[in-house]
C-alpha cells in the first residue's frame, strides 16, 4: 500500500514539474512516514514537520501545539493530538490562504465515523485530542488518513441504532464505494452528527452502552469511560 502511495506521489510531482517543499507528517507509523527518507533523498531541501515526541524519520522541524507554519502561500496550524501515538499531530489548512475551504488533515486521530486505536495514550488523552478536532469550525473539511467509512458506519449503527443522519450517510457511502469512489471529505459538522467517537456526550449512546455517570464523577471522566467502551466494542467488532 505504501509503495503505491509513494510512486503515485512521485509521478504526480514529476508530471507537475515541481519539487517537494514540505511534508506535514501526522505520526511515526510506517504507512504515514515510511516515504520520508526516499523523498528527502530526492528533494534535499524538503522540510519534514511533525512532533519531536514521535520517532519521525527525517524530521527537520519539530512543532509545538498550535504552532503555525506556511508552505508557499498556504498557511497551516498544527495541533498536538496524542493518543494513537505519543506524538500524533493534526494539521488545519486555513482556507483563506488558498482561496478554498478550511481543511483538517487528521492522520489516524479521526476517520469518517471513526477514530484511531489508542496505542499510546489513555482514553482521557484521546478524548482531549478528539475534542480538539471537534472544536474546529463545522464547515472544516475532514481528510483522514484511511478510507474506513463503510466499516465505521456499520459499527456506529450497533452503538447508536436510532440515527437517521447516519443511516443516510451509510447508504451514500455504500453507493460511493460500489463505484470505487472515495467517501472523503466529510465535514466536522457532519461527523458530530454520526461519529460515535465524537458523541461521548450523547444520552442515546450512553443508554445503548448501558453506561451512567457516577454520582460524583466528573463529566470528562465519564466521557472518557464512554470513549473507552466504544473503542473496545469497535476493536471486538473488527475481529468478528
For residue 27, indicate whether it is catalytic. yes
Contact predicate 231/223, CB 8 Å: no
Nearer to Zn ion, 32 or 223 (CB): 32
Task: Check binding of 29 to Zn ion (CB under 5 A).
Answer: yes
Out of 108, 190, 228, 229, which residue is the one contacting Zn ion (CB under 5 A)? 108
Cα dihedral 74/191/186/152 (nearest 10):
120
- 3-state SS, 126-172, equals HHHHHHHHHCCCCCCEEEECCCCHHHHHHHHHHHCCCCHHHHHHHHH
Contact predicate 34/2, CB 8 Å: yes
CB of 167 to Zn ion, least distance (A): 29
Task: Check binding of 229 to Zn ion (CB under 5 A).
Answer: no
Nearer to Zn ion, 56 or 156 (CB): 56
Collapsed DSSP state (helix, strand, coil) of residue 187: strand
For residue 204, indicate whether it is catalytic. no
Cα dihedral 221/163/177/133 (nearest 10):
-30
Q: Of 54, 102, 108, 206, which is the active-site residue?
A: 108
Task: Check binding of 166 to Zn ion (CB under 5 A).
Answer: no
Q: Of 12, 31, 65, 175, which is the active-site residue?
A: 31
CB of 168 to Zn ion, least distance (A): 29
How many Cα atoms occupy the beta-carbon half-sphere of 91 within 13 Å? 22
Binding piece for Zn ion, criterion CB under 5 A, among 12-20, 100-108, 160-168, 229-237: 100-108
Q: Of 54, 84, 88, 206, which is the active-site residue?
A: 84
Nearer to Zn ion, 116 or 205 (CB): 116
For residue 206, indicate whether it is catalytic. no
For residue 131, indicate whether it is catalytic. no
Nearer to Zn ion, 29 or 231 (CB): 29
226: CB partners within 8 A, 6+ apart = 200, 205, 206, 209, 211
For residue 108, indicate whether it is catalytic. yes
Contact predicate 190/169, CB 8 Å: yes
Under the rule (CB under 5 A), what is the footprint of Zn ion?
29, 108
The catalytic residue positions are 27, 29, 31-32, 84, 108, 146
Amino acid at each position: 500500500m505504501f509503495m503505491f502511495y509513494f510512486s503515485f506521489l512521485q509521478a504526480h510531482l514529476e508530471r507537475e514539474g515541481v519539487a517537494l517543499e514540505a511534508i506535514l507528517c501526522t505520526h511515526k507509523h510506517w504507512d504515514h512516514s515510511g516515504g520520508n527518507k526516499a523523498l528527502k533523498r530526492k528533494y534535499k531541501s524538503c522540510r519534514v514537520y511533525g512532533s519531536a515526541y514521535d520517532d519521525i524519520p527525517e524530521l527537520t522541524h519539530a512543532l509545538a501545539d498550535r504552532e503555525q507554519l506556511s508552505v508557499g502561500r498556504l498557511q497551516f496550524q498544527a495541533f498536538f493530538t496524542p493518543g494513537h501515538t505519543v506524538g500524533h499531530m493534526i494539521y488545519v489548512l486555513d482556507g483563506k490562504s488558498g482561496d478554498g475551504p478550511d481543511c483538517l488533515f487528521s492522520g489516524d486521530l479521526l476517520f469518517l465515523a471513526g477514530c484511531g486505536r489508542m496505542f499510546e495514550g489513555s482514553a482521557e488523552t484521546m478524548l482531549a485530542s478528539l475534542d480538539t478536532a471537534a472544536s474546529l469550525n463545522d464547515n472544516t473539511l475532514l481528510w483522514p488518513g484511511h478510507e474506513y467509512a463503510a466499516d465505521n458506519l456499520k459499527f456506529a449503527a450497533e452503538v447508536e441504532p436510532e440515527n437517521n443522519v447516519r443511516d443516510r450517510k451509510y447508504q451514500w457511502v455504500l453507493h460511493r464505494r460500489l463505484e470505487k469512489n472515495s467517501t472523503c471529505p466529510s465535514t466536522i459538522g457532519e461527523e458530530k452528527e454520526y461519529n460515535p467517537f465524537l458523541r461521548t456526550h450523547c444520552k442515546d449512546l450512553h443508554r445503548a452502552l448501558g453506561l451512567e455517570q457516577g454520582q460524583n464523577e466528573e463529566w470528562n471522566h465519564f466521557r472518557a469511560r464512554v470513549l473507552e467502551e466504544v473503542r473496545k466494542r469497535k476493536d471486538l467488532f473488527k475481529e468478528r
